[in-house]
Amino acid sequence: MATNRDTVRLLCKSIINRLENRKAITFPPRLRQIVQDELFDLVGPYIVSEQDVRERALARMGAKAEQLSETEFTESEQYKAAKALVKAGLGDDVLNGFYFQKPLKTIAQSVVAYLMRSSHIDDVFETDEDLEKQLVEIVQKFDPAELH
């Protein structure tokens, strides 16, 4: 399944729901969407989806359209080459169709810091280390295909 920005939002929703279900955090139910949106704003820039890769490849092709038109490559070959260049620039941290721009542990540390300082979170019942482990596990086990 190809990932997109909505899949990243679903990942953030899953993180919040799982932490709440495990009784690791509490917050007023009316603030659920705000907490999910803040988490997306925090981690979204560091998670590139398949859709983002596709859009970047198409943009790269558009920027080089004149040069590409002078080659013998078909449009499909040009797209594959542009997509390969985009992916090469994203690094090796790929998981479930997401390209992580920072190590997962670093992202988990940022989420823990957010949970500890957020005025929307009432209580955090885990240590920083336990929360980090849970967050890494949640992201590793996240499967967008199971959500439909």
Residue 137 near residue 145 (C-beta atoms within 8 A): no
Pick the more confident residue, 50 or 108: 108
Residues 4 and 90: their CA atoms lie apart, in Å, by: 16
Closest listed residue to residue 138, CA positions, set 34, 6, 20? 20
Q: For residue 5, name the pLDDT band (cuts at 50, 70, 90).
A: confident
Sequence length of the chain is 148
Domain boundaries of the chain, sorted by first residue: 5-147
- Scan for tokens 């679903």, then name that residue: 10
The three-point CA angle 52-55-61 to 5° equals: 140
Residue type, 88: A
Closest listed residue to residue 12, CA positions, set 50, 51, 39? 39
Q: What is the mean pLDDT of the chain?
A: 85
Evaluate if residue 56 carries a pLDDT over 90.
no
Q: What is the pLDDT of residues 30-54, one digit of tens each?
A: 999 999 999 999 999 999 888 888 8
| Predicted model pTM | 0.81
